[in-house]
Structure 1
Amino acid sequence: MPTTPGRSPAVIIAVLCAAGIAVSLMQTIIVPLIPWLPQYLHSSGDNTAWALTATLLTGAVSTPISGRLGDMYGKRLIMVLCLAAVVVGSVVCAMTEQLTPFLIGRALEGFGMGAIALGISMMRDTLPPERLGSGIAAMSSSLGVGGALGLPIAAVIAQAHWHALFWGAGAITLACLVAILLVMPPSPTQRSAGFDYLGALGLAAALTLLLLPLSKGATWGWTTPLTLGLFAAAVIVFALWAAYEWRRDDPLVDLRTTAQRTVALTNAASLATGFALFSMSIIPVQLLMAPALTGNGNGLSMVKAGLFLAPGGLVMFAFSNVGARIIRLFGGRRSLTIGAAVMGLGYLFLLVMLIADWHIGPWHLVAITSIISAGIGMAYAAMPSLIMGAVPLRQTGEANGVNALMRSLGMSSASAIVGMVLATYVIVLQLPSERGGTEPHAFPSNTGYLIATIISLIACVIAVVCASMLRGEVEPVD
């Protein structure tokens, strides 16, 4: 295991985790602005909704490609480029009130998502063995921590001036970029093979064809020819891309490595865990913000709701260290299994309260989201360790990029499926209008919450099953 003389492991971990949190903030800082973006950008709601979709698409496409480029040209270089894209994108968003440049800025911010997988791989290159497990666990959980903390922070700042969100995001990311250059050494592992441009183009096309209907299906209609056609095209392009990659001597994604039992099962668990993570972001915030007249809502503002959800991010970060200790003593499989089971326990508590028709107050949701976050922290801590224990050192960037992509796909699936369920089973209330009188507003019903929670619980069960099938595959890491 290579080490980095003269550099404190604690400083390396802090700098890389800060970069991970900074880029993951890009996923949630836009949420408080969504209702106001049509007014700010002088466009329609359908057009401004692309502010979320653009970041999702570029993040998913760039994550595995960034990992591969990191293996080839150096992980520090590619991470700096990822962070630079976030800085430029944030500045563009902060300086415009027009739709097109704003969407370009949001797309550039999405390129930063590759930094998390790169950071995990850089830790393997630079940290001493005794600090590697805790460092990887903390870096892996930074995705969830940034997402959880982004909502309340963004809601508070957006009340003052919405452009300040992006100036602040750009400044934080720039500070992380400078710290990376000062602290991190050039990556010791590089690959001399050429870059698979056709494979990258095929993967980008396949992911775009998949994520577009996932993110826009609720708007377009899930059974419309456009939505179904894009899903069908995604299947075809993925099949053609896989056949091409399988035959290449040096592919963008080594499918033979990805198909290994440990890697495949860990990626499947990552998909399910990503689903559970994002579902935890959707269901509680609806319960907190829905009016009390719905029977299950608490009528809180976005700021207050975000503050009640913020502890989950801190719990997730803390329990990533618990996961690292479990990995050190018993192996990654145990940490993943326990984490997935704890996630399921949190959703089970929520399910019992919904079935019993008890009122779920803010502090109930703090407890439930904290339990789920604790499980996610332990599960996320295990995934990179399992992946890196099964692939050669020269493929760590690529393998972690694919694993991060699976988490993103899980989150995207939760956004589509849970969002569709909550939008289908609704209660319609007549509420006062700003123009005087009343107008109808739809809010999720208890049935919608119940179905969404059951689906999320099933995702946790899938993660437990995948983890349990790893028995005998991975030994404890010293």
Structure 2
Amino acid sequence: MEINARDGKPPERGFHPNPSQPDQVRKQDHGTSGAERLMVTLLCAAIAIFSIMESSLVPAIPTLQEAVGASTSEISWVLTGLLLSGAVTLAVVGRLGDIYGARPVLITVLGLLCAGLAIAPFAHSILVLAIAVVLQGIGIGIFPLAVALVRHSLPDHRVGTVIGLMIGLGATGNGAGLLVSGTIVGNLGWQWLFGLPLVVLLFITALCWLLPTTALQRSVRVDWTGAVLLGLGLVCLLLSLTFVSSQGWLSVAVLGLGCAGLVIILCWAFVELRLPQPLVDLRSIRRPAVLTAYGAAAIIGFATFSGIVLIPIIMALPTETGFGLAASITAVGLAMLPFGIAALLASSVASRLDRRFGRWTATVSGLGALAGGLLFLAVAHHAYWHIVVATAVVGAGTGLGVTGTTTNVVSMVGSHETGTATALALITRNIGGSVGAQVGATVLASFADPATSLPTDGGVSVAFVVAAAAAVLGMAFCLAVGRRCIAETA
């Protein structure tokens, strides 16, 4: 049994405030009030609607391209703009929430999201549509602000459970968006991909005025220099990854942008460590336990997306390949739906696992489930039920892992840093996912049949093995490094 060096007692399991942070005070549990239920309902609904809206754009890209008269290369920047705007603004939104209170910043983010949704149906050019989508991308900031509100308002033993619920609903929303996109476009028109979520989010935004707010730090200033440097670095890194599929890993664009992004982020870190009020307090997150959680988040993103990105590809391949299913967009969406449902169920129990068996249990279990599901796909991807079973297992692993890493990060920083720390965890996971998606596609392309240029059965297996190997390495990383940090973080 591990002993807490501060008081000689065994460390407490699960989510709890870090005693090394003096600003964290335990909240008494007086039962779930109506105000708490309203808060959780609104935050979960906002996250679910944003996730549905975000993923519903993917199947609708050809329709949007025709509607605004854009070329294939131009319309691809719609999804890129959504990704970039979210990545650039995440840390700033989280920090603003920590300084000025999560509620007013959340309402502002929802307002910008609604503005983008209101503009999009009237877009008749790629420029207007791109502006609308960039505004919508800011909506990803809902999640770190929601976590900050939950941590501020709920008793400690409920925080992890609610974080898991929000993560699970986000995953379920992503699957549902892929499924309902075609129905909405076919029956109502593409404009309602934006109109329907707009109606719901306007109602949610109005009710958010009833939410509590978090503690203010009026004496703290926003580090705009750090925000610009971090934003530029992330833009360069993510742009370099978008060019991989068309120009290759060793192209001038990929290497140039990638190196520029790394240099800018190193400069950002140099500046942050010398500021009394940085955008991200790197001194607090450079502790081994916190870095382990961020590293695990990146690995989970890599393993999940390097495998999941392959499923729609292989399902859409012709049956003549021997493993393709010639599936429609609707069939692909239905096959992916178990991913979201399993993630929702697994996320809801992740916090209980950590409380019962130790802080890193959910993270390690999630990586193990990810590895198992991806290895299953490596040997069995020839039937529809293979895909359904595997996506459910991968979804469960993702739900456990993401919830575990997020709650670990939140519990190891001060409450005044919750929004920023959560945003940084989301950024690292998204970067890992972007790299993983490109690696999976690259492996698949490198084993393509020279005669048909289609992926081969062996290439699909290798790609899934690579994704599973990342999850196994993540497990080893957490077991070797994470458990050594329990005494520090308990």
Fold shared by both chains (TM-score > 0.5): yes
Amino acid at match of 1:178: A
Is 1:97 matched up with 2:124?
yes
The CA deviation at 1:366 is 0.7
Matches within 5 A, 1:241-256: 241-256=268-283
Alpha-carbon distance between aligned partners in 2 of 1:313 and 1:40, rounded to the nearest angstrom: 30
Alpha-carbon distance between aligned partners in 2 of 1:283 and 1:445, rounded to the nearest angstrom: 12
Aligned partner of 1:154 in structure 2 is 181
Contact 2:240–2:254 under 8 Å retained in 1: yes
Match of 1:60 among 87, 102, 105: 87
Matches within 5 A, 1:106-255: 106-160=133-187, 161-182=189-210, 184-190=211-217, 192-255=219-282
Are the structure 2 counterparts of residues 379 and 406 from structure 1 closer, same or farther at C-alpha, using a change threshold of 3 Å? Answer: same
Q: Which moved more, 1:72-81 or 1:193-202?
A: 72-81
The CA deviation at 1:7 is 3.2
Q: Which moved more, 1:53-62 or 1:173-182?
A: 173-182
Deviations 1:118-152 (A, max 9, x none): 21121110112342221121123333222222211
Matches within 5 A, 1:2-401: 2=27, 6-160=33-187, 161-182=189-210, 184-190=211-217, 192-353=219-380, 360-401=382-423
Deviations 1:163-190 (A, max 9, x none): 11111222233233233223x2122353
Q: Which moved more, 1:53-62 or 1:210-219?
A: 210-219
The CA deviation at 1:475 is 7.1
Alpha-carbon distance between aligned partners in 2 of 1:474 and 1:316, rounded to the nearest angstrom: 26
The CA deviation at 1:472 is 4.5
Q: Which runs of 5+ in 1 are unaligned?
A: 354-358, 430-440
Q: Which moved more, 1:93-102 or 1:45-54?
A: 93-102
Are the structure 2 counterparts of residues 341 and 218 from structure 1 closer, same or farther at C-alpha, using a change threshold of 3 Å? Answer: same
Are the structure 2 counterparts of residues 191 and 447 from structure 1 closer, same or farther at C-alpha, using a change threshold of 3 Å? Answer: farther
Contact 2:59–2:178 under 8 Å retained in 1: yes
The CA deviation at 1:153 is 1.6
Aligned partner of 1:457 in structure 2 is 468
The CA deviation at 1:8 is 4.6
Q: TM-score, normalised by structure 1?
A: 0.91
Are the structure 2 counterparts of residues 257 and 176 from structure 1 closer, same or farther at C-alpha, using a change threshold of 3 Å? Answer: same
Name the SS for the 2:309 alignment partner: helix
Amino acid at match of 2:175: A
Contact 2:304–2:467 under 8 Å retained in 1: no
Are the structure 2 counterparts of residues 443 and 204 from structure 1 closer, same or farther at C-alpha, using a change threshold of 3 Å? Answer: same
Alpha-carbon distance between aligned partners in 2 of 1:280 and 1:90, rounded to the nearest angstrom: 31
Alpha-carbon distance between aligned partners in 1 of 2:347 and 2:147, rounded to the nearest angstrom: 14
Are the structure 2 counterparts of residues 26 and 424 from structure 1 closer, same or farther at C-alpha, using a change threshold of 3 Å? Answer: farther
The CA deviation at 1:260 is 1.0
Alpha-carbon distance between aligned partners in 1 of 2:62 and 2:462, rounded to the nearest angstrom: 26
Contact 1:26–1:110 under 8 Å retained in 2: no
Q: Which moved more, 1:212-221 or 1:263-272?
A: 212-221
Alpha-carbon distance between aligned partners in 1 of 2:156 and 2:311, rounded to the nearest angstrom: 39
Amino acid at match of 2:282: L
Aligned partner of 1:447 in structure 2 is 458
Alpha-carbon distance between aligned partners in 2 of 1:327 and 1:179, rounded to the nearest angstrom: 33
Root mean square deviation of aligned Cα: 2.2
Is 1:474 matched up with 2:480?
no
The CA deviation at 1:307 is 1.3
Deviations 1:41-86 (A, max 9, x none): 2121001100110010011111111111110011111112222222
Amino acid at match of 2:209: L
Contact 1:266–1:466 under 8 Å retained in 2: no
Amino acid at match of 2:160: G
The CA deviation at 1:280 is 4.1
Deviations 1:390-439 (A, max 9, x none): 1111111111111111111122112322223334433488xxxxxxxxxx
Identity %: 29
Are the structure 2 counterparts of residues 331 and 404 from structure 1 closer, same or farther at C-alpha, using a change threshold of 3 Å? Answer: same
Contact 1:389–1:474 under 8 Å retained in 2: no
Aligned partner of 1:425 in structure 2 is 447
Alpha-carbon distance between aligned partners in 2 of 1:131 and 1:321, rounded to the nearest angstrom: 11
Are the structure 2 counterparts of residues 374 and 343 from structure 1 closer, same or farther at C-alpha, using a change threshold of 3 Å? Answer: same
The CA deviation at 1:243 is 0.7
Alpha-carbon distance between aligned partners in 2 of 1:258 and 1:141, rounded to the nearest angstrom: 25
Name the SS for the 2:280 alignment partner: coil
The CA deviation at 1:362 is 1.3
Alpha-carbon distance between aligned partners in 2 of 1:174 and 1:289, rounded to the nearest angstrom: 37
Q: Which runs of 5+ in 2 are unaligned?
A: 1-25
Alpha-carbon distance between aligned partners in 2 of 1:57 and 1:24, rounded to the nearest angstrom: 16
Amino acid at match of 1:463: G
Deviations 1:212-241 (A, max 9, x none): 011132224433322221112112111111
Q: Which moved more, 1:290-299 or 1:408-417?
A: 408-417
Is 1:413 matched up with 2:424?
no
Alpha-carbon distance between aligned partners in 2 of 1:16 and 1:36, rounded to the nearest angstrom: 31
Contact 1:287–1:298 under 8 Å retained in 2: yes
Q: Which moved more, 1:242-251 or 1:87-96?
A: 87-96
Are the structure 2 counterparts of residues 398 and 14 from structure 1 closer, same or farther at C-alpha, using a change threshold of 3 Å? Answer: same
The CA deviation at 1:477 is 11
Alpha-carbon distance between aligned partners in 2 of 1:261 and 1:286, rounded to the nearest angstrom: 38
Name the SS for the 1:444 alignment partner: coil
Contact 2:306–2:438 under 8 Å retained in 1: no
